[in-house]
Structure 1
Amino acid sequence: MTRLSCFVLLVLASALYIAAASASTRSSSATDYIVASCKVTRYPALCVECLSGYASVIQRNEKHLAETALSVSLSRAQSAAAFVSKMTQVRGIKPREREAVKDCIENMGDSVDRLSQSVKELSHMGRAINGNDFMFHMSNVQTWVSAALTDQNTCLDGFASHAMDGNIKAAIRRRVVNVAQVTSNALALVNRFASRHQAAAPTEKP
């Protein structure tokens, strides 16, 4: 009985070891895939930092990679928008700063809306979609993400003057610049997904 119990424990331990090794290999493979994919972005180190924690979700899937990148961008845009909205309540804020903050609130709100639309559009695209339908939906995603990035940069433009220098400008720029960089990376990965899918798709007859 004792020998049998030892044998069973040995088998279980071996199985757990193999499973753990397999999971570790898959995780390493997914992380390597993310690192390689992020090389097409403008801010590869930030790209890897943002996405490596989602390796188990992304695996080596182009669509999951693009979806995750957009979701991270949306989350950061929402956080930045909420932060900016509180800046009008800062004690001692100057009238010119207040106007710039109000414009930024509007821009970041538009950015969040467009990123939200892009996330929904991409998530609703099933595996079976191809050809013209695929490019139609991807064009929508690319347009919305590009517009979201423009909104973020427009917010920053409102604080470009040296007359705006100060704690409010510094705090807003720090957050919005990060969002803009993450969104730029997401757009690059969306474009990569679109181009690779189009290249792999069979040519449709007219």
Structure 2
Amino acid sequence: MLLVVAFLLAAAATWQPAASALPPAPAPEPAGHGGAGAAAEKAGVAFVRSCCARTLYPRLCRAGLVPHAASVHSSHARLALASANLTLAALGTLAARIPPPGPGALGDCAEAVASAADQAARAAERLRGVEQAVGPEVLWRVDDALTWLSAAMTDEDTCADGLWPRKYAPAPVRAELRARVRRAKQYTSIALALVRMLASSNPRS
């Protein structure tokens, strides 16, 4: 509960009117280049693109995760972790755009986003240790990550439901927040898909 309260206070303190309804588009995917490590980087990009093709949002997945290909290499665990961190970043951006919460649905939305961010952070923490884990620890880390990412998506739905009544915020604010919730849900969906791929990739046991 203290974490939720702190998250809401931070969101209220940092919110300012937005210049546009959507965050800036992700940077374009880097082209291959020569030099040392070029082959490894190319293989990493191919791995990321292949995994992203199996998600519901392959273009967004590639835009967000190809820049991490050099560190991901061909590791499902690292790719899932990078995706969970993208979800967490999207939720942080969403929280920063929510006006200071009061009673009613908008306050419920702010609390739901704080809860979703907490769940995504928990999932990232579990995924961070997968590569070093052995035996049953691999499975419970992956299962926990799936559980917490699923809970984050439920919280995102709760926030989205609270943004429809007109009385809670001006139309431009509601439109921006709905767009950002939609983007956060897309990132969460991608993370869930990549964690499921991790579960089916026979991680070290």
| TM-score greater than 0.5 by the shorter chain | yes
Q: Offset at 1:110?
A: 0.2
**What pairs up with 1:152-171 in 2 under 5 angstroms?**
152-161=156-165, 166-171=171-176
> Alpha-carbon deviations, 1:63-119, whole Å to 9, x = none?
1101111111111111211211xx238xxxxx9xx6222111000000010111111
Q: Give 1:148 shift.
A: 0.4
C-alpha distance in 2 between matches for 1:172 and 1:99: 16
2: CA distance, partners of 1:88 / 1:70: 26
Structure of higher CA gyration radius: 1
Counterpart-to-counterpart distance in 2, 1:155 and 1:46: 22
Q: Distance in 2 between matches of 1:27 and 1:122?
A: 22
Matched, 1:56 2:56: no
Task: Specify the alignment match of 2:53 in structure 1.
Answer: 39
1:103-142 superposed Cα distances (whole Å, 9 cap, x missing partner): 1100000001011111111112343412x33222211110
Structure 1 residue runs of 4 or more that deviate by more than 3 Å after TM superposition: 19-22, 160-165
5+ residue gaps, structure 2, are: 1-32
Which runs of no fewer than 5 residues in structure 1 stay unpaired?
1-18, 90-94, 202-206
Separation (CA, whole Å) in 2 of partners of 1:79 and 1:157? 19
Partner residue, 2:151: 147
Q: What is the CA–CA distance in structure 2 between the aligned matches of 1:191 and 1:172, rounded to whole Å?
A: 28
Which of 117, 121, 125 matches 2:122? 117
The structure that is helix-richer by fraction is 1
Question: In angstroms, what is the RMSD of aligned CA positions?
Answer: 2.3
Aligned to 1:197: 202
TM-score (norm 1): 0.76
Whole-angstrom distance in 1 between the partners of 2:161 and 2:61: 24
Aligned to 1:14: none
Relative to the length of structure 2, the TM-score reads: 0.76
